[in-house]
Amino acid sequence: MSKAKEDSILSVTDLSICFKTRNGLTKAVKSVDFEIARGETLAIVGESGSGKSVTCYSLLGLIPQPPGVIESGTAQFTTEEDKRDLLSSDKATLRSLLGDKIAVIFQDPMTCLNPYLTVGEQLIEPLCQHKNQSRSQARERAIELLEEVGIKDAETRFGSYPHEFSGGMRQRVMIAMALITEPELLIADEPTTALDVTIQAQILELLDRLKKQRNIALIFISHDLSVVASIAERVAVMRAGEIVESGDTQQIFQQPQHPYTQQLLASVPSGPKPRQSFQPGPADQPLLRVEHLKTVFQGSSAGLFAPRPPATIAVDDVSFELRHREVLGLVGESGSGKSTLGRSVIQLIKPTAGSVSLDGQELTQLRPKQLKPLRQRMQMIFQDPYASLNPRMTVFDTLAEPLLYHRIAKRKNISAQVLALMDDVGLAHADIRKYPHEFSGGQRQRIAIGRAIATKPELIIADEPVSALDVTIQAQILDLILALVERHNLSMLFISHDLSVVRSIADRVLVMHHGKLVESGATEALWAAPSAAYTRSLLAAVPHL
Amino acid sequence: MENSPLLEAALPAEKGSSLWRDAWHRLQKNKMALLGLGVMVTMCIAALLTPWITVYGYEEQNLLLGASPPSAEHWLGTDTLGRDLLTRILYGSRISLAVGFIATAVALLIGVIYGTVAGYMGGRVDAAMMRLVDILYALPFMIFIILLMVIFGRNILLLFLAIGAVEWLTMARIVRGQVQSLRQQEFVEAAVSIGLGPWAIIRRHLIPNTLGPVIVYTTLTIPNVMLLESFLSFLGLGIQPPQSSWGLLISYGVETMEEYPWLLIFPGLALSITLFALNFLGDGLRDALDPRAAKD
Amino acid sequence: MARFILMRLLQAIPVLLVVITVTFFLVRLAPGGPFSAEKAVPAEVLKALEARYQLDQPVIYQYFSYLGDLAHGDFGPSFKYPGRSVNEMIAAGLPATAELGLYAMCFALLIGASAGIIAALKPNSAQDYIPMSTAMLGICLPSFLLGPLLMLVFGVWLEWVPVSGWGDIPGDKILPALTLASGYTAYIARLSRGGMLEVMSQDYIRTARAKGLPEWKVVLKHGLRGGMIPVIAFIGPAFAGLLSGSFVVETIFQIPGLGRFYVQAAFNRDYTMIMGTTVLFATLIILFNLLADIVAVWLNPRLRDLYRSGGA
């Protein structure tokens, strides 16, 4: 704190923001104070809706007003030349600072770069706007900086469009764009959330290095405590618009004072799977056997005579077995084919070659009618709890559908069964007539899980079931899944990109890369001694608390 | 699903608010859309009751009176044959509204079925079906309709068919696009993995979710169709006199507009007000049913 | 890209063939021929006429003979205006129609796009409602109503502009162009409003604002291109529609354009003239749709790459 006092670049006091909604005023930020010094990294941590982004965007005039209203507060921004209150500055003053002294890195490099302009054009914009540089000067500087952030062949890439870059490369461009005017304050809003874990590690390292070289103050907004632990010197924890606790990173992570901070830290998955009272079935009689599975996507063209993209091999010669009562983790980065593998197993996608057998029964050759009785025995939980529920069906409709369809329940006692199912997944009886949009993400996922276990299946494919959820909710849903596995003797293929989550739930793990299985083994053994190079790099990239 | 009887016994629980109810609440906030709805309801009632509420017959001539400006006896004046203009506009509304609703229904039926099938089947079937739509789009339809009307005479059934044949194309495209994007939604995958057959998926999961855009587009098709009918009647290719339709009245109005401007202005107003009402209603519905608006 | 254009042009051939065939047989299927309206035509004259226009030959023969002529770009002689070919008549009528369509398109684009953009900058405010309600007028006042009304007000009552004619007096082209443009103006206004609203809510607009760019630069440089894509897609078909829909305006304002010829030809059963104009309009629709697609691809770097890399 002492450092901040001496060399403070931004000092925010008593900031309150509310939004006008249909139901009146909603307080988004409540009397927030924080301070950041030159060369320091301050992380603002919180779950979705905690007001962490709103807080920062309001300082920059980037929240739409209306509906946003800044009720009170000051934000002293001190540069080498002068000192001013950002919140009471007029638009023109703010604009002269933005993109010059203060720069922002946004979350999704996919959508945050203009797809219609070349990367170079977007890069030099701040220079031309604020430093009155000619285009050729700016171009030279931009190419230098592109090289510095690790983009090879920067000269030619300067004229490329954003879609010609990969996600990680795009985020490097974003960083270059933010740094091009040599700002004194950098605000990074979830800069690595949309990236794979290995790319995340690279971007974090890059950010940290550039920041140190330039002595920039960095405000790092994140929901991910592990990431924060690796980059920030100080942390402010936000919940429901308030900073509940702030201080030195070390101190907060080791001795959290506020109960919410404690709960947050406890929710971060870490360490192995808790001991269970039962053992997986024998290896020689697996529930599911997958052999040489291959799924190829024929590219479909956008129009009749539009060019057809080349075919992609999403799953390439994959074989594995899943025992009774086993939770098998399947990890891989985006595009590794893990979701396609899950869908091919459960026959949502017809595999191109290979075999999938459930309890000795071959599935790939069956027609939809023949498959129907088997569908009862295998179910799926999807990633997005917003998209996986029919918005026009109530909880009752959603849960009753599989019961009635497979004639598990009679119409007479259907409501009793639905209620029992709701108990099972921890939903209140009173919510039975509600529609999905009336629920939070975690509750929706409970509904989706209820639907999956309604038919008393043996096999469940869970495709990233907790990735869309906040960390505290994620912990609750993981607990629920583990409890259900135990209670109903379920076997589960648990697909996730998050290695810590997989470690906390899986007995065995499969690692997938570019459509192929690169490694498999018992979870803890694999963690202790990964044999494939890819697994090693994956594990090394995981940030720790 | 007829859930209510099953549930009533079990639970006295509070009611959830469906997306329809939410949409209705949002629509109620939109004054112009409500006004549009009000105008349309009034107009439909007036059209239905026309034979009972009008004082004059639509063919009743009063040659002595001739074309007279609006007066206490003839609120909107009379035409050159001394026929009451208000009466003729009301009778015209029956034709215009009937054409609007019936031709739209034809377009709706063909479009929804065609679009759903194409979108659900996907692949080659979809490509072939949509190629047909593309080809039909490339035809100069206005010209064909004129040709049809000239050649086969002014047959009202043909009019419905011809208009329906034009309007279903866009409906099919909209529905197909909806179905296609819905098919990739996880809740449809969930339905497949439960084991539901294609028909159950279409009926329970796809159609209820395409209803919003279909309703919106229907509301916007009706004015298009009425416009087309008026247009054809205006050209002398639609409804035959002495029956009246708004297009026909406008066409007469144009001939005499320098001497008797009310003969152009009042039928024109009737048509424009109806089009306004339907368009505002359609826009209001679009905003009310927009899933993005539903989030806040 | 060249390959794409070639494929589309090849695809146009069957479409045109369908149009030709359907029109050809439709016209001949109808009761009554081109000369039946004239009462006092002696039998031998009628026969001579029919022989001259090959109407005494079997229909199939007529069809293929017509196709053969068409392949050479010959639309044949007019049935109603002896001594004039359809080619001549189209050449006489097309310039006025094209000019009218061009003016109307310019009006529609200028007024429509600016109204839509202005409305999108401040949604649900007076700045939105006023231009958009005005645009609604364009949809709800169809050309056959708006034209006469404009004529009545500006031509008859106020006497500001001439009520009819084309190119005789300066200013006589304003009312027809405005009338023809009104509906399209309204659609373009709505499309550009929608497109701009969509684009202005994109993340990259926030990035542009975070660079401290002035708002006009954010809108024009970062927003406009994406926001205008739906409008571009609409212009192609719209222009074709303008040309083939101009006959109302041509009739109302007595403009010697192609549309008027077409309506007359339809009433007169002038077979070759009907065929000629229909084929011309169909070709124009196909060409303008193709043009719109090319522009849309060219505007979108991602699509441009896809097409450049080839494949079909």
Give pLDDT tens digits for B5-22: 444 434 444 455 667 777
Assign B296 a pLDDT band (cuts: 50, 70, 90): very low
Q: Which residue has the tokens 């519905």?
A: B285
What pLDDT is recorded for position B14? 46
The pLDDT confidence band at residue B3, using thresholds 50, 70 and 90, is very low
Least confident of A283-287, B77-81, B147-151, C57-61: B147-151
How far is the C-alpha of C7 from the C-alpha of C24, rounded, in Å?
Answer: 26
What pLDDT sits at residue C9?
83
* A451 chain-B contacts, CB cut-off 8 A: 190, 194
pLDDT: which is higher, B147 or B268 = B268
Q: Residue A108 and residue C203: Cβ atoms within 8 Å?
A: yes
Phi/psi at A101 (5° precision): -85, -30
Predicted pLDDT at B27: 82
Identify the CA nearest to C25 among candidates C281, C200, C275: C275
From the list A62, A100, A310, the residue facing C209 with the nearest CB is A62
pLDDT score recorded for residue A451: 94
Whole-number pLDDT of residue B293 = 44
Chain A interface includes B296 (CB < 8 A): yes
Res A356: pLDDT: 93
A77 within 8 A of A31, measured Cβ to Cβ: no
Same topology for domains A1-101+214-266 and A286-377+456-540, yes or no? yes
Q: Which of residues 153-172 of A touch C (CB under 8 A)?
A: 161, 163-164
pLDDT digits (tens, 9 = 90+) for A346-395: 999 889 999 999 988 899 888 888 888 899 999 999 988 888 999 888 89
**Is the predicted pLDDT of residue C179 greater than 80, yes or no?**
yes
Residue A480 banded pLDDT, cuts 50, 70, 90: very high
- Average pLDDT taken over every residue of chain B: 78
B190 touches chain A (CB under 8 A): yes
Nearest by CB to residue B150, choosing from C29, C156, C266, is C266
Residue C40 has pLDDT above 80, yes or no: no
pLDDT in tens, A196-230: 888 888 889 988 988 888 889 999 999 888 899 88
Q: Is the pLDDT of residue C266 over 80?
A: no
Q: For A38-134, where are the alpha helices, taking DSSP H only?
A: 52-59, 91-97, 109-112, 119-130
Q: State how far residue C135 is from chain A, nearest Cα, in angstroms.
A: 26
Task: Tell me the average pLDDT across A430-455.
Answer: 90
pTM, to two decimals: 0.80
Q: Which pLDDT band holds residue B218 (cuts at 50, 70, 90)?
A: confident
- pLDDT band for A462, please (50, 70, 90 cuts): very high
Query: Who's near C230: CB < 8 A, 6+ residues apart?
Result: C191, C192, C194, C195
The predicted-structure confidence for B146-179, as pLDDT tens digits, reads as follows: 777 776 766 677 777 777 777 888 888 888 888 8
Long-range CB contacts for residues A76-84, cutoff 8 Å, separation at least 24: A76/A8, A76/A10, A76/A11, A76/A12, A77/A9, A77/A10, A77/A101, A77/A102, A77/A185, A78/A8, A78/A9, A78/A10, A78/A11, A79/A9, A79/A184, A80/A184
Interface touch C301/A116, C-beta < 8 Å: yes
Exposure string over C140-173, b if 16+ CB within 10 A, otherwise e: bbbbbbbbbbbbbebbeeeeebbbeebeeeeebb
SS3 of residue A242 by DSSP: strand
Please tell me whether residue A7 adopts helix, strand or coil conformation: coil
Q: Going edge to edge, which strands form the sheet with A312-322?
A: A312-322, A288-297, A353-358, A361-362
Chain C residues whose CB is inside 8 A of the B234 CB are: 144, 248
Q: Contact A226/A500 with Cβ under 8 angstroms?
A: yes
Looking at residue A4, its pLDDT comes to: 46
pLDDT at C309: 58
Share of chain C above pLDDT 70, in %: 92
pLDDT tens digits along C122-153: 877 888 888 888 888 887 888 888 888 888 88
Which of C17, C130, C144, C287 should we substitute to test contact with B (largest number of B Cβ atoms within 10 Å)? C144
With an 8 Å Cβ cutoff, are B14 and A430 in contact?
yes
Kindly state the percentage of chain A with pLDDT values over 90. Answer: 39
The domain ranges of chain C are 2-71, 88-268
Is residue C109 over pLDDT 60?
yes
Residues of C with CB under 8 A from a CB of A: 4, 7-8, 11, 202-204, 206-214, 217, 221-222, 225-226, 299-302, 305-307, 309-312
Count Cβ neighbours within 10 Å for each residue of A491-524 and write b for 16 or more, e otherwise. Answer: bbbbbbbbbbbbbbbbbbbbbbbebbbbbbbebe
The ranges assigned to domains in chain A are 1-101+214-266, 286-377+456-540
Tell me how far apart the 2 most distant CA atoms of chain A are, in Å.
78
Query: Nearest to residue A317, comparing CAs of A298, A299, A344?
Result: A344
Residue to mutate among B2, B4, B6, with most A CBs inside 10 A, is B6
The pLDDT, as a whole number, for residue C310 is 46
Residue C212: the pLDDT is 87
What tokens were used for A20? 């006008």
Name the 3-class secondary structure at A236: strand
The pLDDT assigned to A379 comes to 93
Query: How distant is the Cα of A116 from the closest Cα of chain C, in angstroms?
Result: 6
| Burial category of A365 from C-beta neighbours within 10 Å (exposed 0-12, middle 13-18, buried 19 and up) | exposed
Beta bridge mates, A221: A44, A189
B122 three-state secondary structure: coil
| A350 contacts chain B (CB < 8 A) | no
Q: Taking residues A266-281, what's their average pLDDT?
A: 78
Instruction: Report, as an integer, the average pLDDT of A32-55.
Output: 89
Residue B254: in which H helix or E strand, if any? helix B246-255
The residue written with tokens 């400006």 in the block is B69
* pLDDT digits 0-9 by tens, C274-289: 888 888 888 887 888 8
Average pLDDT of chain C to the nearest whole number:
81
pLDDT band at residue B138 under the 50/70/90 scheme: low
Where does the pLDDT of residue A419 fall: very low under 50, low under 70, confident under 90, or very high at 90 and above? very high
The answer, yes or no, to whether residue B183 has pLDDT greater than 60, is yes
Q: Are B279 and C136 a contacting pair at CB < 8 A?
A: yes
d(CA A202, CA B121): 44
Helix (H) or strand (E) holding C28: helix C2-29
How many Cβ atoms sit within 10 Å of the Cβ of residue B199?
A: 8
Chain C interface includes B231 (CB < 8 A): yes
Amino acid C260: pLDDT:
78
Specify the higher pLDDT residue, A390 or C76: A390
Residue A509 has pLDDT above 90, yes or no: yes
Q: Report phi then psi at A28, rounded to 5.
A: -100, -35
How far is residue A16 from each of residues A28, A51, A525, measured CA to CA in Å?
A: 8, 10, 50
Task: Give how far C73 is from chain A: nearest CA, Å.
Answer: 27
H helical segments located in C72-173: 86-121, 126-140, 143-150
Average pLDDT, chain A: 88
Look at residues A183, A210, A177, A207 and name the one whose alpha carbon lies nearest to residue A195: A207
Q: Which token pair is A298?
A: 């024929």
Average pLDDT over residues C80-95: 83
- State how far residue A411 is from chain B, nearest Cα, in angstroms: 7
Cα distance from N-terminal residue to C-terminal residue, chain B: 28
Averaged pLDDT, A449-476: 91
pLDDT tens digits, one per residue of B232-257: 877 777 777 667 788 888 888 888 87
Distance of CA C204 to the CA centre of its chain: 36
Q: Which pLDDT belongs to residue A327?
A: 92
A93 → chain C, closest CA residue:
C212
Amino acid at B63: L
Q: Is the pLDDT of residue C208 over 70?
A: yes
Neighbours of A258 (CB within 10 A): 15
pLDDT of residue C33: 63
Q: Which fold has domain A1-101+214-266?
A: Rossmann fold (3.40.50)
* Record: fold of A286-377+456-540: Rossmann fold (3.40.50)
User: Sign of torsion, CA B169 B173 B176 B182?
Assistant: negative
Q: Of the ranges A111-115, B128-132, B223-227, which is most confident?
A: A111-115
Which of A13-22, A395-404, A416-425 shows the lowest mean pLDDT across its residues? A13-22
Is C207 in contact with A114 (Cβ distance < 8 A)? yes
Interface A–B counts its CB contacts (< 8 A) at: 119
CATH of domain C88-268: 1.10.3720.10
Question: For residue B91, what pLDDT band results from cuts at 50, 70 and 90?
Answer: confident
The whole-angstrom separation of Cα A183 and Cα A98 is: 9
Please tell me if residue B161 touches chain A, with a CB cutoff of 8 Å. Answer: no
Three-state secondary-structure class, residue A428:
coil
Q: Does B127 touch chain A (CB under 8 A)?
A: yes
Of B81-95, B141-155, C223-237, which gets the smallest average pLDDT?
B141-155
Which residue among A129, A177, A305 sits closest to C213, beta carbon to beta carbon? A129
Mean pLDDT, to the nearest integer, of B289-295?
51
